[in-house]
Structure 1
Amino acid sequence: MIMSEEAVVTVRLVRSFEHRNFRSVVFHGVCLEQKVEDFIRLVRDGERAGLPPPFKNYTNELVMSLDDDETLILGSDLTLKAAGVANETEVAFFKKEDYGLFKANPKTTW
């Protein structure tokens, strides 16, 4: 019997790039053999199922590369493992449209 690899993955739920507004949420027992698109669905469902919606108290420095999108943005058809996710990996979760706007004009406000 082959056991699927499980990991702890920290997800930064980015509410606003401009205001550096995000909240880190830890997911335990994440199957690395699942597709990225399935993990995205899990994160979205978890957010609706009780993650705190207002992030006003969680403004921090959002350290995130704006380069190498082809390498760093996970392909939805890959498994998490094939996309480079391992135990204790931290990933950002955001609207791609918001990221594109911020990348075009990377200014932050307080």
Structure 2
Amino acid sequence: MTSLTDALTNTLNPTTSSTLTIRVIKNFEYRTVKNLVLQHVNLESTTVGELKNIIRQKINTISGFKPFRNVNYDTLKLYTKAHGAKTQNLIINIEHEEWIFGNDEDTLISCGLENESEVSFFNREAYEAYKQHPDVIKWD
């Protein structure tokens, strides 16, 4: 018998009321990223496009995100799931291109998201340029 204390935290909330951490990436080379925590997200009914709009609205209204408002954020990509292995790259997971959410009509659950997943939100053009030289760091 499994007790509540033995359950993984990502299974404690229902998929209709999940918590997501959004890694808003302003700049890859300077490693400029700020986390946004979204609670009570319905993974079954929220689409990728709706999530993008929710995040953009938060960026434009939360004062701590003021420096992040000058970027055209257009792409979401899974960074990691709760209790899963993390990438060695601290800014974004570049190993799995299939983790990019390419269709704005897909529901979040159909993209493989679960409670406590981390998702990167960024500009696709900047990401493609960064992938050519991921070891370039400009803040040293």
Say yes or no: TM over 0.5.
yes
SS of aligned partner of 2:67: coil
Structure 1 portions without partners, runs of 5+: 56-60
CA apart distance, 1:19? 0.5
Q: State the Cα deviation string for residues 12-70 of structure 1 (Å, max 9, x = none).
A: 01011001110011001111121101100110011101242237xxxxx734221221x
* 1:82 aligned counterpart, secondary structure: helix
Q: How far apart, in 1, do the equivalents of 2:20 and 2:92 lie? A: 17
Give the counterpart letter for 1:8 in structure 2.
T
Letter of the 1:54 counterpart? P
SS in 1 for 2:57: helix
The number of residue pairs the alignment matches comes to 102
CA deviation profile, 1:43-100 (whole Å, cap 9, x unmatched): 0011101242237xxxxx734221221x210132210000011110100010111101
Per residue, is there more helix in 1 or in 2?
A: 2
Task: Report the Cα distance in structure 2 between the residues aligned to 1:34 and 1:65, rounded to whole angstroms.
Answer: 23
Cα distance 1:84–1:4, how it changes in 2: closer, same or farther (>3 A)? closer
- 2:9 aligned partner: none
Alignment of 1:38-57 (within 5 A): 38-52=50-64, 53-54=66-67
Q: Which runs of 4+ in 1 moved over 3 A?
A: none
Question: Which of these two proteins has the greater Rg computed from alpha carbons?
Answer: 2
Q: Are the equivalent residues in 1 in contact too, given 2:21–2:37 (CA < 8 A)? A: yes
Percent identity, aligned pairs only, is: 28
Gaps of 5+ in 2: 1-13, 69-88
Cα RMSD between the aligned structures?
1.9
TM-score of the two chains, using structure 2 as the length reference: 0.66
